Amino acid sequence: MAEVNHEGLRAQLQTELGAVERQLEEHGVELDGDGIQVDVDEGFADSAQATTERSEFLALVDQLRTQRADIVAAIDRIDEGTYGKCENCGNAIPLERLEARPTARLCVTCAQQQG
């Protein structure tokens, strides 16, 4: 099995983290809090449309927050020396999986069992 390049993956994760944090900030989300600003046109006649847009916005924000948390957790695992080990069975996560999904916490077998 090829050796995991932790620094290369850390750099990739840091780049992804910066992109996700910029998106969150552009959407008015406080990175260290739960505050969200939702701008809906006050004169919007179709309240169902406004509700749908707000719901879609909140779903996007939730997805970005989850993505950010996964990236931060992966960087923490690198720092702790546990990166690349399956959190379920303890086996090594294949390099190919880590390159495709740097935030992977589980090996393929455990991910399929949980999926």
Write down the pLDDT at residue 79. Answer: 94
Residue 85, SS3 per DSSP = strand
Which CATH number does the domain housing residue 108 bear? Answer: 1.20.120.910
Residue 101 near residue 83, CB atoms below 8 Å: no
Task: For 5-30, give one letter per residue: b (16+ CB within 10 A) or e.
Answer: ebeebbebbeebbeebeebbeebebe
Q: How many domains does the chain have?
A: 1
Residue written as tokens 């991910």? 111
Whether 71 maps to a domain, the answer reads: yes
Report yes or no on 40 lying in a domain: no
The reply to whether the predicted model has a pTM over 0.85 is: no
pLDDT one-digit tens code per residue, 89-98 = 999 999 999 9
For 97, the domain range is 6-30+52-114
**Is 47 inside a domain boundary?**
no
In a domain, 21, yes or no: yes
Print burial letters for 89-98: b (CB count within 10 Å at least 16), e (below 16). Answer: eeeebbeebb
Mean pLDDT (the chain, rounded): 86
> Would 66 be classed as within a structural domain?
yes
* Within a domain: 37: no
Residue 15 has pLDDT above 70, yes or no: yes
Residue 95 inside a domain? The answer is: yes
Span 1-10, mean pLDDT? 76
